[in-house]
Amino acid sequence: MGITMHGVAGCVTSVAAGGKCGPGALSAAFSQAALPYKPNNIIGGTIASYVIGGTASELGGGKFANGAITASMGYLFNAVQHDMKTSGGYGAGSADGDHYYVVWTQLSTNCDAACVQAWSNAANLFSYPSLDLRATPADTSGRPTVVYGPFPGSDLSDPSSYETPGGRVVQSRNADGSITNTTLGDHVFCCGTITRSLVLVGDSLYMMTVGTGYNVLLGTGYRSTFLANWNSSSGQQIFKTLDQQLINYKKGHGP
């Protein structure tokens, strides 16, 4: 995807949510233009994109935080786009407990503005792993939300196995319409963020999930390589399963 298309991706969910395209497009495009000057690793590149995009957004009359999120998402999208067909994902944990993962799932083809809006409405019901992965509206009021997962050793692809409370997140809606889940200290995979965003590539619509952060043993503050690796691998499968629930829901509720 070139600079112009990064700008378009920065606009898609913003327009669907009734927001403004300009600052989001500028931060995405400016961040992509600066790509050769970023560190040659995905976490470092994401952080650099965050700073560059936030600065560009301010120059365009927007807010730093909004542009930073759009740009960092655009960077991660650029990192995986060569593999973007129908679905996929990858991630890693590091020796110091850092983790990241990216999941993308194709939702629709030949998708116009009405199609994007319809999927945006449905996606609002699948922004985090709820009990049994049921359709549950996002809560961006600032109140903590309990997330659920399978008991260790259970089938991550089976929605009915998501019955074990896994801690809490706080949800926030970004200017581009995406939703970020920030894990709290009682979350089994604390600490980090998971952002879910609709991305339009040509006329194909994708759900993109990006998880980044570091993992500590609950109650200790000790960074865990084991948890980081577990987080990056299970996180991918959890959100692939959630995406399938979204697709099934959409099929059952019309175009």
pLDDT value of position 179? 92
What distance in Å separates the CA atoms of residue 161 and residue 208, rounded to the nearest whole number? 23
Residue whose C-alpha is closest to residue 210's, from 68, 104, 98: 104
The tens digit of pLDDT for each residue in 66-119 reads 666 566 666 665 655 545 555 666 566 666 788 878 888 889 999 888 998 999
What distance in Å separates the CA atoms of residue 14 and residue 28, rounded to the nearest whole number? 12
Q: Is 3.30.530 the CATH number for 87-252?
A: yes
Split at pLDDT 50, 70, 90, the class of 171 is very high
pTM: 0.72
pLDDT value of position 206? 84
pLDDT value of position 44? 57
Count Cβ atoms within 10 A of the Cβ of residue 99 and give its class: 0-12 exposed, 13-18 middle, 19 or more buried.
Answer: buried
Whether the per-residue pLDDT at 32 is higher than 70: the answer is: no
For the residues 201-227, what does the mean pLDDT come to?
A: 82
pLDDT value of position 172? 94
Query: What is the token pair recorded at 110?
Result: 């030949």
Split at pLDDT 50, 70, 90, the class of 175 is confident
Whether the per-residue pLDDT at 141 is higher than 60: the answer is: yes
